[in-house]
Structure 1
Amino acid sequence: MTTLSNYFYSLSQTPHRLRKRMLATWTPDQEFNQVRQRSGADMKRKLNWYDLIALGVGGMLGVGVFVTTGPVALHQSGPSVFISYIIAGISALLSSLCYTEFAVQVPVAGGAFSYLRLTFGEFLGYFGGANILMEYVFSNAAVARSFTEYLSFAFGENNPNVWRVEVHGLPKDYNMLDFPAVALILLLTLCLCHSTKESSILNLIMTVFHVIFFGFIIVAGYYNGSTKNLVNPKGIAPYGVRGVLDGAAIVYFSYIGYDSASTMAEEVKDPYKSLPIGIVGSVLITTLLYCLMALSLCIMVPYNKISDKASYSMAFLKIGWSWASNIVGAGASLGIVASLLVAMLGQARYLCVMGRARLVPSWLAKVHPSTGTPLNATIFLGKQIVCHQILLKIFSYE
């Protein structure tokens, strides 16, 4: 009888305990000295400021600029699409400054989840972290599936389903198994489990080649284009200020990933110096590249003749450089791999820190003592991405 009374008493206290837990906050000292110990081992501090810049640039320079620039130039901004990128870049820079301030004050993994949890409590922290993780898994599934499409373009094949396996008996749009994307995710998961430093070096190499690829498009656009296309046929801003601002809201999608460096705070040798340089520097470099890319497209082709889809590939076809469209596919494929690597790197840190807070099963918080990586979280999320992208056409840029 006493046990039953204790049970009902505990049950009656649930709302009070839940309210107390929801509003509970942690100090940075508690985060450093108590919560972080729940991982069993520390992440290894091996990253420098240039690693963080490469992670930020690699995370942002995915396929966003190829997907958004053409449609925005055609329907919203016209030749002034580069101004839209400047406005979006300023907005991303201001947000990155907020991340920088938090990251320097609280240099722990977990990014926005950690900052929300320490400031507003575990309730808002949990929902913020859960939404970010959902965004990571869904967007990574979409990007991985688009890898097959751009890879097919690189080999001169316009139908990406040639690389996929059709399963008869499944409903239409759910019957194309994308095994190249599965292989890519599994390879990146293995790389991330092995070592953060080696993953960072791989990202650095891919990012350098991707920037060189961007440079090719920029130079080729200026070489084959004419500045008259910036004012013809209806001026530099045919849709007015409203169009430029609407375009800025859309191209902001291309800046997603600037927060990736903040999730690596526990693995940086000198976080107080390297984090500001890495976060802000990556946004500035990316903004410059995006503006030059947008200008090259509008110089190469008048804005009203830009294709809605595969804008850069179609622009090269219109000027007679059909071989360059294959290079665009290859470069975009490389950018997808780099952005996937960075995103999967960040998502594992989010889940690891949520495990430390015991908002998800604590085994997800474990850090491998040899590799210094959140092994369980990395493998778990890799499996989730595979499950989401292997069948569903909804996670595709088709």
Structure 2
Amino acid sequence: MARLRMGEGVLRRKPIDQITADTDAAEGERLTRTLGLWQLTAIGVGGIIGAGIFTLAGTVANGTAGPAVLVSFLIAGVASAAAALSYAEFAGLIPKAGSAYTYGYAVLGELAGWFIGWDLLLEYTAIVAVVAIGISGYFSFLIEDMGASLPHWMLGAPGTGDGHRVDLFAAALCLLIAYLLNLGIKNAARFETVVVGLKVLVVLVVIGVGFFHINTGNYHPFFPYGVGGAFTGAATVFFAVFGYDAMSTAAEESKDAQKHMPKAIVYSLIIAMVLYVLACLVLTGMQDYRHIDKESGFSTAFKSVGLGSLADVIAVGAIIGILTVMFTFMLGVTRVWFSMSRDGLLPKWFAKTHPTRHVPTRVTWIVGAASAVIAGFIPIGEAAELTNIGILLAFVVVCVAVIVLRYRRPDLPRAFRTPGMPVVPAVGVVFSIWLITFLKWETWLRFAVWFVIGLAVYFGYSYHRSELARQPQRTKDGPPRG
């Protein structure tokens, strides 16, 4: 009997028709609705475009895929698009903070929602750190190109170079983003929108100028590492083609989430993929893939064709532009953490918001400090290995959940409906699982350790403290039992 009750407990679902009501009733745990369509789109574009163009494109081109890095982005984009359409349906249906965590909780049950949320806490925090390290690489390039120098001890994590002790600039950036987010979502989003505009402008300049310096001979051979290299590259660049998922965590801060969130998700992915494809063509066309710098690819590519002054502009643009990726994912992790705490799966202390700015300041500073430690003391390769598997699993959960809910509750009003049901979500599931198989065993090991820790936290704390554990159980999203 106890086992039966345990089984029912981990499968308990948060009723969809009560989610909005619960959100509105939460005193001291309330977010402010201030974001419009284009602010949401800017947050999405800010999360997608960044390290993918300015760092990962060069990393994958030199050593993994060659000119076929373009194919790597397209493969990752197809998988991401299938998941994006599923996210869009949920964003219009459940306009609540938490993104994949909330969707999984409402459709697949508490345990599934818990593990997605638990994974995203690590994944999003690691992404913030990885991006900060990427910006630091461009910063170092810019300083050296100006003829200046900084002490070696502050230029990288231990083991990344002679005399390196800490990546001080990367760590400071993490704390800066935490500070900006704590100013309030309205002011933070205004900053994000302006900086995203500058970033897109820089990317357009890169594409426009670089187009006239393409040497088509650099495209041969197009698959120097075989077709498999392009697929391996897709697994690496995958985290560069999402960001809309983190943006969807801001649903409770959108003025008209049911209408605007689906549009913002679709718009941001389309804009990003067009720019990615064009930028990859320019990068691999300007310079032989074997000579592309892995940390500051476009800056060195432009320098190689005699455009050193523009290389400095690109470095500045990269530093400013990639900040928006940090902003989006730190926003995402803090809202997931806030949502889990409000639901009782983590201590309620974390769900308290600032009395006037209405943002979760406590978790924001904790995430800022944690990402600063990762960015400062872990090499970028090891930090990047923490990022992909949880996101891919979140995509699997969301794609499965949208199929399940479509058949379980076809009557629910949906502002956006995923096309090609159930084929499109199934494509997202297959691609995501397939990309997971390309990840290194060390990634699986780290994930397993985090999974076991999460299991202990859930059954030791969350299972008993959950808000649903204190309420009468419902069946099929209906009225309470007994």
1:290 aligns with 2:273: no
1:383 aligns with 2:383: no
Q: 1:366, 1:374 within 8 Å by CA — same for their partners in 2?
A: yes
Deviates more, 1:125-134 or 1:333-342: 333-342
**Matching residue within 199, 214, 234 for 1:248:** 234
Q: 1:258, 1:282 within 8 Å by CA — same for their partners in 2?
A: yes
Pair 1:309–1:48, CA change in 2 (3 A): closer
1:360 aligns with 2:346: yes
Pair 1:390–1:243, CA change in 2 (3 A): closer
Cα distance in 1 for partners of 2:90, 2:99 equals 9
Cα distance in 2 for partners of 1:71, 1:32 equals 43
Letter in 2 for 1:108: K
**Matching residue within 87, 93, 101 for 2:81:** 93
Partner of residue 131, structure 2: 143
Pair 1:153–1:284, CA change in 2 (3 A): same
Partner of residue 308, structure 2: 322
The percent of aligned pairs where both chains have the same amino acid is 32
**Matching residue within 210, 213, 224 for 1:221:** 210
Partner of residue 105, structure 1: 93
Cα distance in 2 for partners of 1:160, 1:276 equals 47
More RCO (CA 8 Å, sep 6+): 1
Q: 1:52, 1:275 within 8 Å by CA — same for their partners in 2?
A: yes
Deviates more, 1:368-377 or 1:129-138: 368-377
Partner of residue 64, structure 1: 52
1:121 aligns with 2:109: yes
Q: What SS does the aligned partner of 1:370 have? A: coil
Cα deviation for residue 285 of structure 1 reads 0.3
Q: 2:154, 2:169 within 8 Å by CA — same for their partners in 1?
A: no
Letter in 2 for 1:139: I
1:34 aligns with 2:34: no
Cα distance in 1 for partners of 2:115, 2:43 equals 26
Pair 1:17–1:389, CA change in 2 (3 A): farther
1:299 aligns with 2:288: no
Cα distance in 1 for partners of 2:169, 2:294 equals 26
**Matching residue within 231, 246, 249 for 1:260:** 246
C-alpha distance after superposition, 1:174-207 (max 9, x if no partner): 9723433333222322221121011111011111
Q: 1:53, 1:281 within 8 Å by CA — same for their partners in 2?
A: yes
Residue ranges of structure 2 left out of the alignment (5+ in a row): 385-482
Cα deviation for residue 294 of structure 1 reads 0.6
Please report the TM-score for the alignment, with normalisation by the length of structure 2.
Answer: 0.71
Cα deviation for residue 226 of structure 1 reads 3.3
Cα distance in 2 for partners of 1:215, 1:166 equals 30
**Matching residue within 162, 173, 191 for 1:202:** 191
Partner of residue 417, structure 2: none
Cα distance in 2 for partners of 1:375, 1:383 equals 12
Cα distance in 2 for partners of 1:391, 1:48 equals 38
Deviates more, 1:276-285 or 1:176-185: 176-185
Cα deviation for residue 76 of structure 1 reads 4.9
Q: What SS does the aligned partner of 2:129 have? A: helix
**Matching residue within 332, 335, 354 for 2:321:** 335
Partner of residue 182, structure 2: 193
What aligned pairs does 1:8-19 form with structure 2 within 5 A after superposition?
18-19=6-7
Please report the TM-score for the alignment, with normalisation by the length of structure 1.
Answer: 0.85
Partner of residue 356, structure 2: 370
C-alpha distance after superposition, 1:244-265 (max 9, x if no partner): 4444333323213221221111
Cα deviation for residue 60 of structure 1 reads 1.3
Partner of residue 8, structure 1: none
Partner of residue 6, structure 1: none
Q: 2:152, 2:164 within 8 Å by CA — same for their partners in 1?
A: no
Cα distance in 2 for partners of 1:160, 1:36 equals 53
**Matching residue within 23, 44, 51 for 2:32:** 44
Q: 1:92, 1:255 within 8 Å by CA — same for their partners in 2?
A: yes
Q: What SS does the aligned partner of 1:34 have? A: helix
Pair 1:180–1:69, CA change in 2 (3 A): closer
Cα deviation for residue 224 of structure 1 reads 1.8
